[in-house]
Amino acid sequence: MSIIEKLQQKFEKNALPTRERVNRLRKEYGDYVLGEYTLGQVLAGQKGIQALLCETSALDANEGIRFRGYSIPELQGLLPKLDPNGEPLPEGIFYLMLMNELPTEADVKELGQYWVDNCDLPGYVAQVLSAVPVDTHPMTQFSIGILALQKDSKFAAAYNDGVSKQEYWRYTMMDVMDLIAKLPSVAAYIYRRKYKNNDHIAPNKSLDWSGNLAHMMGFDDDGLKRLMRLYMTIHTDHEGGNVSAHATKLVASALSDPYLSFAAAMNGLAGPLHGLANQEVIRWVYDMLKELGTDTPSSEQIRNYCEETLEKGRVIPGYGHAVLRKTDPRYMAQREFALKYLPNDPLFHTISHLYEVVPDVLRATGKVANPWPNVDAHSGTLLIHYGLVEYDFYTVLFGVSRALGVLASMVLDRYLGLPLERPKSFTSEAMLAKIDATKK
């Protein structure tokens, strides 16, 4: 039996109770009132409105993310690792999110082997990427590379052949496995072309998925490989409503295949209020250090610089969150990594210093709902430490990881037969008229 058939067999068995539960909710509780929502919430970006089903992870405002019920510190102990003192393998968190079951070492090894064995890019993808101006933002190139791969979608081909809707999830899973296998190669191709004179590096298929990504980008030291395993694990999923996860769900709900759906997610991740914040943090910190003329600014200098940023009508990148109301546990996981492996790094000290100063500055505005750092406040400093200094590339790495969560969800959504998403919109004129009518 192939690994895909094995995964499908296990998935069907493990996902059946979820399908039964969702069908029960549909049949028996369709008229259950979830809550009321206000016009204010809609105009604030639908914040706090529970309107999406997502099983792979759940986000608590104070505690942070749990993947299938497990927190990041718990998973650091429970997921298989290459080295007992190292970081978990992201293959394991994908398996957990997809199967709702912790993987064995053998599960993770088999999955990772499939991904690296299938990482080679078709020649036409390299041709498409080579035609893009090299100064095009890496996230735009990433989205183009993903779309170029769509030609080989097994879901799209099966749909064209008239496959039954009961079988959609099987072809979705095949595409998901192929796409995840190829994303590190797309990312590495863009990286080597843009920053390393188009000098490409062949995959090393004896490495794990993250290790091979680091290798193809040109980093063969243990440090970056170790960091990649943590990075690729913690950026995977953040429940269903964030822009990249929701974009995947929305586009997939039209029965678009995983390539089309995931490219949409990446276009959302490329926004500065979402994933692009990881490059913006480093850009903003470097601008600050340059303007202040020091690598070790005082708290007062940092405070003044933050206030200037706010006065200019800009945000302080890496701080704030639409759901979280405490420090992001993904920030803390990276901080612990830094304390363990790079405690004397000067940029890490600046990032830690910001953590002491920025929350008070944001609180003083009186309007910021969450003054604490999010995942993006910390990731750049770790990458820079290991020599990955091209910060406009960072969101691509976030994107490679995000695939694991949103595409695991997509397989499940197809299995559950979730319908087309189609909320109702209104015009402001009609809304005011409606409100006026209720006052009469």
Per CB under 6 A, residues contacting ligand HAX are: 242, 273-275, 277, 310, 315-322, 362, 367-370, 374-376
**Residue pair 115/180 in contact by the 8 Å Cβ criterion:** yes
Kindly name the residue from 376, 378, 385, 413 that is annotated as catalytic: 376
Type of residue found at 23: N
Q: Which of 185, 216, 220, 182 is nearest to 201 (CA)?
A: 216
- Least distance to ligand HAX from the beta carbon of 404, Å? 15
| The one catalytic residue among 238, 274, 378, 385 | 274
Residue 235 designated active-site: no
Other CB atoms within a 10 A radius of the CB of residue 348 amount to: 22
d(CA 93, CA 102): 8
Nearest to 119 by CA among 229, 8, 205, 2: 205
Q: Which residue is nearest to ligand HAX (CB)?
A: 320
- Closest distance of CB 333 from ligand HAX, Å: 14
Q: Which residue has the tokens 């006052």?
A: 439
Beginning with the edge strand found earlier in the chain, give each strand of the sheet holding 64-67 in spatial order: 57-60, 64-67, 70-71
For ligand HAX, give the closer residue by CB, 335 or 414.
335
Q: How far are the Cα atoms of 46, 95, 131, 240 from residue 41, in angstroms, in the given order? A: 5, 35, 44, 18
Measured from the CB atom, the residue of 368 and 388 that comes closer to ligand HAX is 368
Q: What radius of gyration do the chain's Cα atoms show?
A: 22
**Minimum CB distance to ligand HAX, residue 256 (Å):** 23
Q: Are 90 and 232 in contact (CB under 8 A)?
A: yes
Do 258 and 153 meet the contact criterion of CB atoms below 8 Å apart?
A: yes
Nearest residue (CB) to ligand HAX, 327 versus 374: 374
Burial per residue of 172-189, b for 16 or more beta-carbon CB atoms within 10 angstroms, e otherwise: bbbbbbbbbbbbbbbbbb
What's the sign of the alpha-carbon dihedral 298, 300, 304, 310?
positive
Quick one: how far is CA 82 from the chain centroid? 23
- At which residue do the structure tokens 């590495």 appear? 188
Let me know: does 89 contact 82? Beta carbons within 8 Å. yes
Provide the minimum distance between the beta carbon of 102 and ligand HAX in the complex, in angstroms, as a whole number: 26
Closest separation in Å from C-beta 98 to ligand HAX: 22
Handedness of CA 292, 295, 298, 300 (dihedral sign): positive
Q: Has 321 been annotated as catalytic?
A: yes
Quickly count: other Cβ atoms within 10 Å of residue 346's Cβ: 13
Q: From the candidates 215, 235, 238, 321, give the one annotated as an active-site residue.
A: 321
Q: Do 212 and 205 contact (CB within 8 A), yes or no? A: yes
Question: Are 254 and 168 contacting, i.e. CB atoms less than 8 angstroms apart?
Answer: no
CB of 314 to ligand HAX, least distance (A): 7
With a CB cutoff of 8 Å and minimum separation 6, the contacts of 341 are 223, 226
Question: CA–CA separation, 131 vs 193, rounded Å?
Answer: 11
Q: Has 376 been annotated as catalytic?
A: yes
- Could you give the residue numbers annotated as active site? 274, 321, 376
